[in-house]
Amino acid sequence: MTETDVVIIGAGMGGLTTAAYLARAGLTVRVFEQHTLPGGYISSFIRDGFTFPAGPTCFGSNGIIFPILKELGLEGKRHFARTSYQMSWGPHDVPFLTPQQTCRDLAIHFPGEASNLQRYFRWVRIGIDGFRAMLESGLMFGENVATTTIRLGLRHPLFLWAMAIARRQTNRSLHERYFKDALLRQMLNQLGYPVMAGQNTLGMWGAYFDDTWVPVGGMQGLANALMRFVHEHGGQVHLGKRVSRIRVEDRAAVGVDLADGTFVPARVVVTAADLYHTFFDLIGREHLLPILTNKLDAAVPSESIFAVFLGLRDSPRLETELQRFQGSHIWFTCANGEYIQLVLLSKDDPSIAPPGKHALFIGRLSPYEEWETLKSDNEAYQARKLTVTRRLIEQAGEFLPGLSEHIEVQEAASPLTYERYTSNWRAGSAGWNWDPQRSTHIDFSKDVTLGNFFAVGHYVHSPGGVPTAMITAWYIAREILKRK
């Protein structure tokens, strides 16, 4: 086989974005994806006319996704619908429209916390105003970092104060600092990942209030558009092709071995697959520095998820009950204190369900350890999957009474399903763990001394997510082109 300029492992958003930039610049690019669909977590599956997102139900652009799509000329190729959030418990609902309104509505339910809520949401408002300005400034793309930072500081002086409050804090420590009410604290802690840095808490609120989106027609359309772009620019995306080894000679990557035995020589190898799998399975400990293997041995992935996907038949009673969704995304605290996420997917994008019908996602965090032991016992695994699915439908029924009577289509994904389709280590949903105490930071300039090798995707920078996958791709594509 002739040598390729760049081989990319994995056609998730990280791999496809890298391939798009490199193919557009004229390099010969080949992407190998183990799954039969492109997109990684950004893919969809169809059941009886309902289109469900396999991974995220929406994402924030974070000043990254839309600028990249624009730069590639893809912005007009997909339409995006805005999504919206809400917190619910018992019969109570608080939509997240603006910081002021959320503060007011929560104060009605927690009058003893009214002044604390005002302080907290003042911090949120100032923080997210600064965040928005920062994201719009192009800072994420390294544009005029010094002048942009000074300008931001001058225009949003209180942003520095908001960031100082967030510094060295987590969502939990901030909520403990601001509030006394146990239920309010618990419900705020449940938003986003269980433990995340104070800055990410601000980022999360910013996304909830004005930056969460879903591609109309389903997530898969976005991945397909990127893959088409790669093909149109002469690159190749090979689906159903698993890479089994990154071949290393004289401390440099020289190509990849595919699971079917083919060797693909390449001048540069980019991994867009998860880094634990990349380093330990594809490269091998013998090629790694102890500093890196120590970090990987101590690494903790982000939380894994159990999801239920329901297609709901239309009925006047259901229509009335669905009115409770003021936002499409609900963080719901159940009667026993557990929480689930409910997403009325067809509220944001009716085209994903047959006319008059509805698509619903129910999700909750589900520790990988609880599933790991079932890998070798399919019967026990299926039984547990069904039990957890029924339990989630029951809990969702607290929010939507009579839900189970309207189910036409039912599917579920356990952490083992996510792991099987994406190879993400221990089904980590968004890279390494978001808890700043447990997160893994790989310094590629010091920890990895392998030539002709690069990494992109949600493990390269913490915290992970779709914007991280794409911005890491943007930087690495530039780096490869610069070297060329």
Ligand X SMILES: Cc1cc2nc3c(=O)[nH]c(=O)nc-3n(C[C@H](O)[C@H](O)[C@H](O)COP(=O)(O)OP(=O)(O)OC[C@H]3O[C@@H](n4cnc5c(N)ncnc54)[C@H](O)[C@@H]3O)c2cc1C
Name the residue among 281, 272, 296, 274 with its Cα closest to residue 456: 272
For position 466 contacting ligand X by CB under 6 A, the verdict is yes
CB 433 within 8 A of CB 420: no
The reply on whether position 22 binds ligand X by CB under 6 A is no
User: For ligand X, which is the closer residue by CB, 189 or 429?
Assistant: 429
Region from 147-155, 188-196, 384-392, 419-427 binding ligand X, contact rule CB under 6 A = 419-427
Could you say whether residue 7 binds ligand X (CB under 6 A)? no
Q: Does residue number 301 form part of the binding site for ligand X (CB under 6 A)?
A: no
C-alpha 145 chain-centroid distance: 26
Q: Is 429 in the site for ligand X (CB under 6 A)?
A: yes
Min dist CB 372 to ligand X, Å, is 17
47 strand-pairing partners: 50
Distances (CA, A) of 456 to 17, 21, 184, 343, 413: 9, 13, 38, 29, 26
Q: How many residues bind ligand X (CB under 6 A)?
A: 39
H/E stretch holding 58: none
Select the residue interacting with ligand X from 423, 439, 452, 462 (CB under 6 A): 423
Bond into 316 cis (ω within 30): no
Contact with ligand X (CB under 6 A) among 23, 30, 51, 55: 55
- Is 469 among the residues that bind ligand X (CB under 6 A)? yes
> How, if at all, do strands 80-82 and 252-258 pair?
unpaired
> Phi and psi dihedrals of 137, rounded to 5?
-80, -10
User: Minimal distance in Å, beta carbon 29 to ligand X?
Assistant: 15
**Binding of ligand X at residue 430 (CB under 6 A)?**
yes
* 434 binding ligand X? (CB under 6 A): no
Coil, helix or strand for 292? helix
3-state helix, strand, coil split of the chain in percent (to 5) is 45, 20, 30
Using the contact rule CB under 6 A, the part of the chain among 141-149, 157-165, 320-328, 427-435 near ligand X is: 427-435
Q: Are 6 and 266 in contact (CB under 8 A)?
A: yes
Q: How far is the CB of 101 from ligand X (least distance, A)?
A: 22
The answer to whether residue 32 forms part of the interface with ligand X (CB under 6 A) is: yes
Taking a C-beta distance cutoff of 8 angstroms, is the pair 324, 399 a contact?
Answer: yes
- Is 464 a binding residue for ligand X by CB under 6 A? The answer is yes
Q: Are strands 407-413 and 305-312 parallel, antiparallel or unpaired?
A: antiparallel
Judged by CB under 6 A, which stretch of 71-79, 271-279, 286-294, 342-350 contacts ligand X? Answer: 271-279
Residues 239-268 contacting ligand X, CB under 6 A = 242-243
Q: Determine which residue in the list 277, 357, 385, 406 makes contact with ligand X, applying CB under 6 A.
A: 277
**CB 484: neighbour CB atoms within 10 A?**
13
User: Which position has the token pair 């994008």?
Assistant: 349
Query: How far is residue 156's CA from residue 133's CA, in Å, rounded to a whole number?
Result: 8
218 binds ligand X (CB under 6 A): no
Distance in Å, CB of 470 to ligand X, minimum: 8
56 near ligand X, judged by CB under 6 A: yes
Does 190 sit near ligand X (CB under 6 A)?
no
Please tell me whether residue 409 binds ligand X under the rule CB under 6 A: no
Scanning 28-36, 150-158, 170-178, 350-358 for contacts with ligand X by CB under 6 A, the matching segment is 28-36
- CB 81 within 8 Å of CB 347: no
Helix (H) or strand (E) holding 454, with range, is strand 453-455
Residues forming contacts to ligand X in the complex (CB under 6 A) are 9-15, 32-35, 40-42, 55-56, 58-59, 242-243, 272-273, 277, 305, 307, 418, 422-424, 429-431, 457-458, 464-467, 469
